[in-house]
Amino acid sequence: MRLALHTDYALRTLIYLAGRPGRARIGDVARFFRISVHHVAKVVNNLARLGYVRSVRGVRGGIELGKPAATIRLGDVILASEGNMHLLECVGTEGVCVIQPSCKLRGILAEAENVQLAFLNRYTLDQIVRPGGQLTELRVVSAK
pTM of the model: 0.84
- The span from the CA of 69 to the CA of 14, in Å, is 9
HEC letters along 59-100:
CCCEEEECCCHHHCEHHHHHHHHHCCCCCCHHHHCCCCCCCH
- The span from the CA of 39 to the CA of 6, in Å, is 8
Q: How many CA atoms lie within 13 A of 67 on its CB side?
A: 13
| Residue range 85-144, pLDDT digits in tens | 887 777 877 888 888 788 888 888 888 888 999 999 999 999 988 765 666 665 555 555
All structural domains of the chain: 5-128 (1.10.10.10)
Q: Give the contacts of 142 (CB within 8 A, at least 6 positions apart).
A: none
Cα dihedral value 135, 133, 50, 85, nearest 10: 60
| Residue range 60-83, pLDDT digits in tens | 889 999 999 999 999 999 999 998
